[in-house]
Structure 1
Amino acid sequence: MSYGVIAAAMFSLMMLLMATGQRVFAAIGAVAAIAAIALWGTGGVEIPFTAAMKLMNWYPMLTLPMFIFMGYVLSESKIADDLYKMFHVWMGPMPGGLAIGTIGLMVLVSAMNGLSVAGMAIGATIALPELLKRKYDKKMVTGVIQAGSSLGILVPPSVVLVLYAMIARQPVGQLWLAGIVPGLLMATLFIVYIAVRCRMNPKLGPVLAKEERAVPMPEKLRLLGAGMLPLAIFAVMMVPFVNGWTSLVESSAIGAMASLLAAILKRRLTRKVFENSMRSTLGISCMFMWIILAALGFGAVFDGLGAVKAIEHLFTEQLGLSPWTILILMQLSFLIMGTFLDDTAMLVIVAPLYVPLVHALGFDLIWYGVLYTVTSQIAYMTPPFGYNLFLMRAMAPPEISLRDIYGSIGPFVAIMLVSLILIMVFPQLAMWLPETVYGN
């Protein structure tokens, strides 16, 4: 049996296990273990041991629990509520203002947590009821929350980019900086779309009633200060890192301590808040660690098979495809897989193949990390089985049907596709900031 057939069999078995509802790390790890023992006998047992050593020796992985803890402290202590109150007061007087404020909320929540699920949860529980109560169009605001929450895996401190950095062996700091401009570009396009659409049809996003707008200026300024707190925490964490005063791990510890201090100063750090934050951090961190461990083992088997070289030979020599054609086919495969897998699963499944291939084709791996992230955002919202669609249905109130959710995402997916094309055509959108900061 050729190595190419073995590689195809591994992928097929892994997808079959996932289709049965097995956990991602279990499916990937089981296939890697079976293949390693079948190919190399007892020598194959060294692969998981080596993968575990790589994982424990990768110092930047310590940032993962720090950033997750920071996000959960800010979320559990209701500091995110203050953010929405700020946007409610300052943006409410303009058509579609609360929907625009919701995008702003999502950007700041992304900077607090780095997980799209957190943004979805906050948007669905805080923003969505307020928008519906004020007669905003339910289809539009459902799309706003889904699109805004997807920014969590692009705007730093993105946990997904940390995982990509681990697998692709690229600097996390450069990947984060590369995600800032595309993330803000996408958020800006969302805001422009909402503003133009609500200007053309004010019924979609009516302005706040006069009594709600009658907020004294001192109260407005107080809310502005409270809403800026997450930005201050983000600055305290990122400025020393970007200037080279602290390492990435030290900056993550600063962010975790700053969020804890903010909750204490606001007198919101109760035992329940601290316990919930610790439990959630431990659960998600362990899940990611197991997934990475399985992915490293799976990638080691692929390296041993020479599958990457075989696929490169197939695409470039036998089929005669150009590098850009191969890259576009990769992005299309992400869109297909994203209809039934989350971003982490997609990354660990295809990274052992795609990352070396992208490098061999002459593309920058930092730039490709941004492309992968944006594409997985689009896949999250693509019917029929987009991850965000069903997550939104689970969190939305009863008056929002699955049909409303499916009908809400068309314009936002189109905007994200435009953003993806712009980043592909103009790579400096992603590369300018890391090249400026690091002088590459």
Structure 2
Amino acid sequence: MGPVGPGEPGRAGGLRGTAGPGGPQGPDRPGSAQDEVSGGPPRIPLPRSSVEDTGLPLPTPVPTPAPEPLVLDHRVLESLLGAWALAACSAQETAAVEEHLGECGSCADEALRLREAVGLLHPPETLDLDPALRTRVLEGCLGRRPPRIPVPDWAAPYDAETARLDALLQDIGDAEWHTPVRLRWFDGEGPASRRTTVAGVIAHLITVDGLVAVALGLDDPLGTPPREATPAARTEAYWSASHFPHTRSVRGPWREQSHNLVRTVAFAGGGSGRLPVPYGAFELPLSDSMLDRAFECWVHAGDIAEAVDYPYDPPAPRHLHGMIDLAARMLPASLAERRRAGLSTAAPRHLVAAGAPGRSLRLEIEGSGGGEWLIPLDSPGAVASADHEVAHVALDGVEFCRLAAGHVSPEEAAAGQDGDREAIRDVLFAAASLSRM
């Protein structure tokens, strides 16, 4: 017969033996209470019932007494101020120091100075690298040891902007390459856009940079280019040739192509800047084309950064100045093109012979990379002249670039204006018309 359960009457104290069929066990039965006295096997206590099992109320917990506060003299408390400022004291030491600071003015002043010093040791900084860090490091290195084959000054903005975009692409995850991005530009009459992804934007840059590559004798990323050599047609052809959506694998070809372009122009030397680069309806010399590619790289890097919520700063001031200068030099041709297309609100007021001074607009660009440019209004061949100034426009440098990129409409451009309103409107619309996909 097995042992009796713990809930039976008279058995809560422990196992007292087994009861035979004849009644209570006798004094000389195995397992009796006398076995303990006589050196027999000890009793094994049964597990007690918990209070919860029996339904009885839980016992009131005994509160833990609070630790006794430290009693320290002034000299010891003063020596703890440095550790307190660094948050290196124990809880009791911290309480003792803070109680003392409410009573001792000299220690309170010293504690304040120490806390301010600790704040200087650990300034809050962003984890993102300064975008100008690469430029400063390269300048320091090149100042100590000039390059045997330097990159021409007009190619330096492209080198810097592709490096900055490459750093952004390195930081984004695989899924973010499929983030929607909307390419925006101004088609002459109003805003236009095209939806793609982060990977699609890099594919677009590959195809348009390919125009420079072909001019330099490098391989065309399209293989067989379309009949129409415009950037938009090349981009559509590249997108259509892919059977699957582009992924982060597009970064490798773009990165290799940009390195090859910089390397090739460096070996070709500064004289190669006059080499023509066709864009379909127009062409640019290589020096201006590299500035154009640097500008578009920065603009589309900003599009990508906005889509993936990534901070992105404008280019270095001297590079930004070069991009603004290129746009300002292209404005007279853009004005003439809009007149030929019937998009200008006013015809030229005077016929001006090539090389002669004519009506001019003063374009003032404020902020980093800014300056002043005189824009001839009546003919691309006319010479701008301060004596014939009829209007004045002032714009922030980044705002002007956003206008030239088609990211802000001429009506929305925050411009200070003075003088001939029709001339100002024509110039703002001509600036927006510089944009393209």
Which structure has more helix as a fraction of its residues?
A: 1
Q: Greater Rg, structure 1 or structure 2?
A: 2
Scaled by the length of structure 1, what TM-score is found? 0.22
Scaled by the length of structure 2, what TM-score is found? 0.22
Which structure has more strand as a fraction of its residues?
A: 2
Whose RCO is larger (CA < 8 A, sep 6+)? 1
